[in-house]
Amino acid sequence: MINFEIPKKIQAEAQMADMVAKQIMRPISRKYDEGEHERPVEFTNAMWPFLKQQEKARWAKIESGEVKPERDGPNWTILRLILMIEILSWGDAGIYLCTPNAGLGGAAVEAVGTPEQKERYMKRFSTGEPKWGAMAITEPNAGSDNSSMRTTAVLDEETNEWVINGEKVFITNGKLSLEESDGFCVVWATIDPDAGRAGIKSFVVEGGTPGVSIAKQEHKLGIRASDTVALHFKDVRVPFDSVLGSPDVQKTSKGFKGAMKTFDASRPAVAASAVGIARAALEFTQETLAEEGIVIDYTKPKHQLTAVERDLMEMEARYRGSWLLTLRATSQLAFGESNRLEASMCKARAGEAVTWITQKSVELLGPLGYSRETLAEKWMRDAKINDIYEGTKQINLLIVARSILGYSRRELK
C-alpha cells in the first residue's frame, strides 16, 4: 500500500519548518512584501544554524564512508528539501527564496559537477556565515530559447582561464550569492555562438570575482522579498576547471544536456513552492467561509452543492493533484530514476493550479480577499511566478508532449 505519511527520518525537520513558517515567516510576510529588496534577517538567522548543521553532518558521513556522494535512493536529502519548500512557501514564498543555501546553483553543481567540484563548491555551506548560491541562465533576448544565448566564455590559453562576457536577467539570489565571498553563481555561457545549444556550458563564478556587477534590482509583482537582479559580466576571468563537468570541453550537445539535468531537480522544487502557496490560500478560504457557516458536505452529490461549495471542492482537488504529481517526480529523483517527463508535468500542473486557486480564493472572499487586510491578494501575486520561471507552462507542456508522443524538438515546437 502506498503511504503518504511523512517519513520518520524527516519528521523533526518538517516540524521545525512548520514552526518557522508559522512563528517567523507569517508575522513578517507583509513587512517584506512592502519593503522590497530588504533582507529578511529574522528568517535568515533562524534558518542558517539548522541548515549549516545539516550540511556539516552530511559531509561528515560522506568523509567517514558511512554514505557515498553518489548512491542509490532513496535520497532523503531530496525528499526533505521538497517537503521543507512546500511548508516554507506556505509561510511566505518570497521569504523562502531568501533561504541561505546553494539554491539553483547548487542544483546545477550536484547535477553535472565532478566529485571534486561538489566538494569544492558545496562543502562551504557547512561552515561559516550565511551564504547563497544562484544560477544565471535567462538573457534579455534569450528566455525559453536558450539556443539564442549570447553570453560567451572564451578560453585564454596563455593564462588557462575562461573569460566571460554578457548579461543575465531575473536571477534569484543573484545579489546575495555574489556579495558574499563564499557564495557563487552558476553562469550559462556559450563557447561557440554559431553552434547553438551544442556550444553551451555552465561555469561557476565565485562571489567577489572582478568584472561582475549588478545591472539592476527587479521590481516585481509578487515574491517581492526575493532577491532578483540582472547581472553584467565584463571580462570576468574564472579558472579553467570552473566549468561544470569535465574541463575538456568538446563542441557537442553533451554540455547542454548535462546542464539541463538541473531542471529535473529544480522543477519539482518550484512545483512544491506553488503547492505551498496553494495550500495557504485554500486553508484560509476554507476557514474564513466556515466562520460564515459554509462547510462542504462531502457525502452530497456534486449537483446538490452550492456554487461556492463546488468551487471549494475544485480548489482542493487541484491542490491535491498537483502535490501528488510533485511527490511522484520527487520520488523518482530520490531513487535515481529519470524524471524528465514527471518534472515537467508537476511544474506545469502546479503552476496552473496555484494561479487558479489563489484567484478563486480572492474571488470567493470578495472585498476581504481583494483588500490588504489579509494575505489573500498577496498569495495571488506570489502565485503567478510559479507558472513562469524554471520553464513556462507552455515550454513544460511541450516537453511533456514530446516525451509522450516521441517527437524531437525540431518536430514539435
390 is catalytic: yes
Contact between 273 and 141 under an 8 Å Cβ cutoff? The reply is no
For residue 69, cis peptide bond before it (omega within 30 degrees of 0)? no
Contact between 102 and 109 under an 8 Å Cβ cutoff? The reply is yes
CATH 2.40.37.20 holds for 8-126? no
Question: What pTM does this model have?
Answer: 0.93
Contact between 134 and 105 under an 8 Å Cβ cutoff? The reply is yes
Span 280-291, pLDDT tens digits: 999 999 999 999
* pLDDT at position 75: 79
* pLDDT at position 4: 73
**CA-wise closest residue to 211 among 191, 190, 235, 230:** 235
Contact between 333 and 339 under an 8 Å Cβ cutoff? The reply is yes
In the chain, CATH 1.10.540.10 sits at 8-126
* pLDDT at position 348: 97
Spans in the chain with pLDDT lower than 70:
1-2, 67-73, 143-147, 246-259
Span 7-39, pLDDT tens digits: 888 888 999 999 999 999 999 999 999 999 999
In the chain, CATH 2.40.110.10 sits at 133-252
Helices (H), 92-172: 93-96, 103-112, 115-122
Helix (H) or strand (E) run with residue 168 in it: strand 161-172
Q: Is the dihedral of CA 169, 79, 17, 59 positive or negative?
A: negative
- With vertex at residue 205, the alpha carbon angle to CA 201 and CA 209, rounded to the nearest 5 degrees, is 145
Q: Partners of 65 in the beta sheet?
A: none
In the chain, CATH 1.20.140.10 sits at 256-405
* pLDDT at position 124: 96
* Catalytic residue of the set 86, 110, 180, 390: 390
**CATH fold of 256-405, please?**
Butyryl-CoA Dehydrogenase, subunit A; domain 3 (1.20.140)
| Domain covering 133-252: architecture | Beta Barrel (2.40)
Pairing of strands 212-217, 228-239: antiparallel
At 311, list the grid cell: 468551487
The phi, psi pair for 284, rounded to 5°, reads -65, -40
Q: Which one-letter amino acid corresponds to residue 65?
A: G
Sequence-ordered list of residues with C-beta below 8 angstroms from that of 37, at least 6 positions apart, any chain: 217, 227
At 37, list the grid cell: 529588496
